[in-house]
A and B are shown apart, each in its own frame.
Chain A
Amino acid sequence: MVDFLDKVKQLLLQDLSSFFQWLGKLKSVFAHLAAVGDYYSLLVRWLLPVLAVIIFLWCILPLLRDRKNQTTWGYLYLMNGIRVPIQSWECMLGRGKNSDIMINQPFISRNHAVLTYHNGVWSIADLGSKGGITVNGARVEEQHRLAYGDVISLAGIEMALLPADIVPAEEGQEEQVSDNSGVVNSTGTFTLLLIFIFQLLGALQIIITRSAAVFPMLPVTVFALMLAQGLHYHVLRWLQFENLELVLLSYFLCGLNVFIVASAAPHSLYKQLVAILLGMAVFTIFSLLIRKIGRAMKLKYFLLAGALVLLVLNLTLGEIHFGAKNWINLGFITFQPMELVKVAFVLAGTATLDRLLTTRNMAAFIGFTGACMLTLVLIRDFGSAVVFFGAFVVMAFMQSGDLRSLALVLAGALFGGFAVVAFVPYVTKRFAVWGKVWQYAGTTGYQQTRTMIAAASGGLLGVGGGSGYLVNVAAADTDLVFGVLCEEWGLLIALLAVLVIVFFAVYTVIIIKSSLSSFYAIAACGAATIFLLQTALNVLGSVDILPLTGVTIPFVSNGGTSMLTSWALLAFIYSVK
């Protein structure tokens, strides 16, 4: 019996020792894995920037290509036999250079009339012309509904409105058009694939470096993100959305966002994933809703009402984070109301061409802007105040075209800005350190100097995802994301992320020519302005070209509300056409 027990004990010991031996071997396997990981990063740090550049080019080139495939909504037959296609829902008629349909006759006013096609209804509005308008011989005072076949006379120049479907078959442009879009879509799928590869390779890099800290959140998030992107992309195609490269670029930015969150705040990966998914949904729904101008207008008033509620909520329930009282905690969810207000704010600045050329009334917009600015000043979120104000100036200019009042408003704002800098201690402090952060490297220049150190450490290719130190600095995942990108993924990718935002704005400028309504044009400009200003303040602030302000980079910074808002604003840029 004792013998037997001894034997068992011996066997057990033997087994145990062999188990430990095996463990030891496993350890060396892990050591090998770590070595493999090192070589992986050696490869990936070259691969990722190349991929990023290809993705960027593959997205912007199709969008920059000159597209002539515009839908024709109706025709104006001039009495001299010329047929003019109407390719937007709002056309200005007149003698001036800015007229969409230029009629060079002495009695025609510079801006004579606006022909609109809203919600399937044609109408014409007089812009206070000298010669006046008649429809079928009857004088038009302000606005008049039109039917096909109506004869319109502008100061005696007659023309007839005819439907689009009488186009002679000989032109056959439509088929060519669909061929073109087919080509565009197939490169889109390829680009999506590249984005998947980019996200997979990057995530794997972080998983190798950080392992336990991001497991299992990061793998789950990345796979869910890829799935969602694939699904979203194909739903959009099924809904016959075009120019999806814009959406692909946003996927790319969302991927970078996941990288940053994984590195800086892995515990909030799931939250951020949900925000991205919601953002995609919001983008889709928004784009569908505002396709019709009538629905868009309803949405505008609905959102404005909601925004006013948010303003009040922010003032009463706001919580302070990093000096600004810009958070609301509803117990089950925390969010930044002023982010959401941006969407309503952009809509508030919109107007259809007939309205903005006839009434010229911006009182409501100015009032709403005032309310937003006041709230922002009260909650001490001066960075956002600059963003709102910039968007206001751009949208007001889009509406009025008045350079003189623009200059006046800017001068006033500069004055107000000086007052804020001089009398608000927390802003004064930020400005005091501006341009000499290295002298205050331990105190008020801490974040900026750490950002520059991180950026320099990364070089052009980065030290690898998860290997950075900037993520340990407070607010690195929101205010200093540019530095995090530089450090971990390299200056090239960081610059590319900024260039994507810049491209959104450039695209807006290009595409507005073929905008259907000035509603979309103004909304897109407002959204692009917000994107640009936030990016400029964030990036240039974090590297001491501008004073540091706590605003986010759209799509890239960590933050659920910011992500949702970015997608909603993108819908405005996307919907221009």
Chain B
Amino acid sequence: MKLLAKRALVLLVLVALLTIGLVCFVVRYFNQASTWVQYPANKHLFNNQAKLTVSGTIYDRSGQVLLEMVDGVTKYHRDKTVRTAMLHATGDTDNNIAVGAQVAFREHIIGWNLLNGVYRLQNQPNRSANLTLTLDANLCAAAYKALNGRKGAVGVYNYQTGEILCMVSAPSFDPEQPPNISHYPEKYEGVYINRLLSAVYPPGSIFKIVTAAAALENLPEDKLYHCEGKMQIGSDTVTCTGIHGDIALEQALAHSCNAAFAQIALELGDAVLQKYANLAGFNSYLVVDGIKTAVGRVDVRNAAAVDLAWAGIGQYTNTANPLNFMAFMGAIANQGVLISPRLIADNYGFFASSQKKQVLSAETAVKLGALMRNNTLSVYGEYNFKGLELCAKSGTAEVGEGKRPHAWFTGFLAREDYPLAFVVLIENGGIGSQTAASVARRVLQTAVSTGK
């Protein structure tokens, strides 16, 4: 039977084909099963309205329940203000908020894993499906209240550990009583967008920190700039808020002198300014436990002189993502080392832990911090931020079209016990050092009084 035994080897070709097919499937399975299982037709996890019927409990950092599933019904925090303030963190029941935990961390909260699938003992959600966020419910509520109905975003995070303590985006609504959004298009404009993570705004004067960082490393420190209230560049004019005369970097930053920063930008040149913008996190996104932030853009390569000057002031085509800029503040506070922000506290090795990245030299970071400290001492007023050791910069970003400018206030606390960086943005909020600073004051004072 040697002859036929040899010919029978043709069967092995078929065996190989079936085996290859199986291996393909298994590889796909290992890579994609977590996606397949989340398809809303999966009756193990969703009801006929495609709403999740299974979820682990989501806690804030102090153990308050932000979201739990009781008999297939989603329950949020008991307090309405907290529910509303944390809407963008937990997500809404209809899953319109793409970066909310119910969507972004769905794989985790449904308790699926490769070994057990969706199997649940006694139909109870797996304990491993529970999720503790780094957020502080009370701090978020305080921030939401401080915004007082204005649209904007507030972020606070620990620049040593990366934990985000406060993430608030307004407008918002109570997820247990979702309003009819289409009836109030103005009030709920972009309500499903988490403005801290997923939006970009013109940075205005807060960008001067980036320009200042470049100046510290590339220009003589005792160099004086000259301000006559405006500056002529070719046929264009860069206007300033006042007439500052001969002014050094420290005072230029404190008084947010446009003329001085226009001169700095021109002296640095496009390549250097571009380099420092990139270091500060522009033109790239951060990944917060798998969620990519929006990308703020700065592109001054080959820009005309006047454009470069405006860019140095933060008013060219620049855009900034609030969280990304807050992380840059954290890097300044943390000797130039940026600890990427994160939202999930219990790490189980399930999510990648915080990334570290040196974005400025320690020396520059310390000098920059001192400049920002001086801002508070000489302009914003220490009495407003008593005990906070506040280092900050305000911004008032013109948006044109007769609208009020966006108000920014960002910086950090130079305190060992409260290593916090923050950002406040109020859409059409007016003068940053007034409106945004006052929101920041209330949020930061809550942060240091209620614990870390």
Contact = CB atoms under 8 A, between A and B. Distances in A.
A535 B18 contact: yes
A525 B11 contact: yes
Interface string B104-133: 000000001111111101100000000000
B223 to A, nearest CB: 61
Contacts of A453: 36-37, 39, 41-42
Interface stretch (B25-33, B261-269, B302-310): B25-33
A154 to B, nearest CB: 17
A38 B15 contact: no
Given A38-B122, A398-B7, A401-B3, A490 B117 contact: yes
Contacts of A90: 1
B356 interface: no
A540 to B, nearest CB: 4
Interface stretch (A72-80, A92-100, A138-146): A92-100
Interface in A356-400: 390, 394, 397-398
Contact of A529 (B11, B28, B43, B117): B11
B8 A525 contact: yes
B183 interface: no
Contact of A459 (B2, B3, B41, B119): B119
A512 interface: yes
B19 interface: yes
A394 B10 CA distance: 7
B117 A509 contact: no
Most buried by A among B1, B6, B25: B1
Contacts of A495: 22, 26
B119 A397 contact: no
B4 A536 contact: no
A457 B14 contact: no
Given A463-B44, A505-B15, A540-B25, A512 B119 contact: no
B21 A521 contact: no
Given A469-B43, A508-B8, A463 B119 contact: yes
A508 B7 CA distance: 12
Interface residues on B, range: 35 or more
Given A453-B37, A498-B22, A545-B25, A521 B118 contact: no
A514 B28 CA distance: 40
Given A490-B117, A521-B4, A533-B14, A539 B22 contact: yes
Interface residues of A, number: 63
Contact of A401 (B7, B11, B44): B7
B2 A99 contact: yes
A461 B116 CA distance: 6
A525 B25 CA distance: 26
B17 interface: yes
Interface string A283-314: 00000000000000000000000000000000
Nearest to A516: B1
Contacts of A529: 11, 14
A459 B114 contact: yes
B119 A98 contact: no
Nearest to A397: B10
Contacts of A491: 26, 29
Contacts of B21: 536, 539-540, 545-546
A264 interface: no
Contacts of A272: none
A532 B18 contact: yes
Contact of B14 (A92, A99, A505): A505
B6 to A, nearest CB: 6
Given A390-B14, A502-B18, A532-B11, A98 B6 contact: yes
A265 interface: no
Contacts of B121: 38-39, 42
Contacts of B6: 98
A469 B118 CA distance: 12
A462 interface: yes
A456 B117 contact: yes
Q: Chain B's interface: helix, strand, loop or mixed, by majority?
A: helix
B8 A536 contact: no
Contacts of B36: 449, 452-453, 455-456
Contact of B3 (A92, A450, A505, A533): A92
Contacts of B116: 459-461
Most buried by A among B18, B24, B28: B18
B115 A398 contact: no
B4 A518 contact: yes
Given A505-B15, A529-B14, A397 B7 contact: yes
Contacts of B119: 45, 458-459, 461-464
A469 B117 CA distance: 14
Given A449-B39, A463-B118, A455 B29 contact: yes
A502 B19 CA distance: 8
A35 interface: yes
B44 A509 contact: no
Interface string B43-69: 111000000000000000000000000
A193 to B, nearest CB: 28
A24 to B, nearest CB: 21
A536 B117 contact: no
A462 B117 contact: yes
A270 B420 CA distance: 70
A522 interface: yes
B29 to A, nearest CB: 7
A257 interface: no
Contacts of A545: 21, 24-25
Most buried by B among A512, A535, A546: A512
A344 B121 CA distance: 50
A427 to B, nearest CB: 20
A246 interface: no
Contacts of B15: 502, 505-506, 509, 532
Contacts of B12: 505-506, 509
A218 to B, nearest CB: 22
Most buried by B among A35, A42, A98, A99: A98
B1 A460 contact: no
Contacts of A502: 15, 18-19
A258 interface: no
A495 B117 CA distance: 16
Contact of B9 (A99, A509, A515, A546): A509
A460 B118 CA distance: 10
A98 B2 contact: yes
Nearest to A406: B10
B24 to A, nearest CB: 5
Interface string A494-524: 0100100010011011001111001001100
B115 to A, nearest CB: 5
Contact of A513 (B1, B18, B28, B113): B1
Most buried by B among A462, A487, A505, A522: A505
Nearest to B118: A457
A151 interface: no
A487 B113 CA distance: 13
A536 B34 contact: no
Interface in B64-100: none
Interface in A325-340: none
Nearest to A472: B43
Interface in A463-500: 463-464, 469, 487, 490-491, 495, 498
Interface of B: 1-12, 14-15, 17-19, 21-22, 24-26, 28-29, 32-34, 36-37, 39, 41-45, 112-119, 121-122
Given A460-B117, A461-B117, A490-B117, 12 more contacts: A453-B42, A457-B37, A461-B119, A464-B119, A491-B29, A508-B8, A518-B1, A518-B4, A521-B4, A529-B14, A540-B25, A545-B24
16 contacts: A398-B8, A452-B36, A453-B39, A455-B33, A459-B119, A462-B117, A462-B119, A463-B119, A495-B22, A498-B18, A505-B12, A515-B4, A518-B1, A522-B4, A532-B15, A536-B21
Please list the 10 inter-chain residue pairs (A to B) with the smallest Cβ-Cβ separation, ordered nearest first: A459-B117, A456-B33, A456-B36, A456-B37, A98-B3, A540-B21, A469-B43, A521-B4, A513-B5, A536-B18
